[in-house]
Amino acid sequence: SFERMVFLSQCQQAMAIKTAVEYWRCLKPHCMGTLIWQINDTWPVASWASLEYGGGWKLLHYAARRFYHPVLVAMVPGHSRFNTDGQFLLKIVNDHAHAVQMHIDLAAFDEHGNVLLKKTYSEKVAADSVTTLERFSPVADDAIAFYRWSWTTHVKDKTTTGQNEYWLGPYKNYDLPKPVVTAELREDNGNTSVLLTTDKPAYFVSLALGGNRVFSDNGFTLLPGDERTITVERVLNCQYAPVLADLDIQHL
């Protein structure tokens, strides 16, 4: 359908730019910056902009907020002109002008969300640096579909969190489950939010594509047992209160 093509095109766009930017950031100091073409459009059109002509956020714009965070934990393929051993490298990028203390929880999954491996790391990362945390062999366990990790960063008495993942192959190569994602509206002191849960792993969960609402997150992985609370951060070009009951939830 046309609607499904729009969704999949936004997934592909977010994946492509994320893959490139994370790899380039992990090449520091060989690469010291990136510029994405392009940020917005001035009329309705199908393009590679991350913002619609009315200011609505495509999935790429939400992804950019994550992959451009000053502290990023990313996995990149080890095979390049700088590293030819063919392994996958888990790296920490710290763009701060001071060292940061990191705690990282990593797990490996098959496409059905079964945990195949768990590891934790504690690392102090130097200022303005890239640190290789670990190397993973692509043939260590051929049941692994993707790695997923979350981290906590302590910077000058301030704590931030992040989450990322890396798939070892294209989504189309896997037997992805067909989940049922449940959305529950909640009210708290006049503020409306939606609580998302799923019975099976759901990938690229999206509440809406573009439009006049900017969500706290969009286009993410949701696993059974996870609870993700989403709010509307702001409304674009509209004086009315945001409505969360008309969400168009999609996933792979």
CA-to-CA dists, residue 107 to 103, 132, 244, angstroms: 14, 17, 32
Q: What is residue 172's DSSP assignment? A: G
Q: What does the pLDDT look like over 94-123, one tens digit per residue?
A: 999 999 999 999 999 999 999 999 999 999
Copy the structure tokens of residue 163.
Answer: 């989450």
Which pTM does this prediction carry? 0.92
Q: What does the pLDDT look like over 27-71, one tens digit per residue?
A: 999 999 899 889 998 888 888 999 999 899 999 999 999 999 999
Query: In the chain, what percentage of residues exceed pLDDT 70?
Result: 94
Side-by-side strand order, sheet with 71-77: 71-77, 88-94, 129-136
Q: What does the pLDDT look like over 197-206, one tens digit per residue?
A: 999 999 999 9
- Ranges assigned E (strand) in 59-190: 71-77, 88-94, 100-109, 115-125, 129-136, 146-155, 158-167, 181-188
- How far from the centroid of its chain's Cα atoms is residue 160's Cα? 16
Listed residue (65, 109, 66) closest to 203, CA to CA:
109
Structure confidence at residue 189 as a pLDDT band (50, 70, 90)? confident
Percent helix, strand and coil across the chain, each to the nearest 5: 15, 40, 45
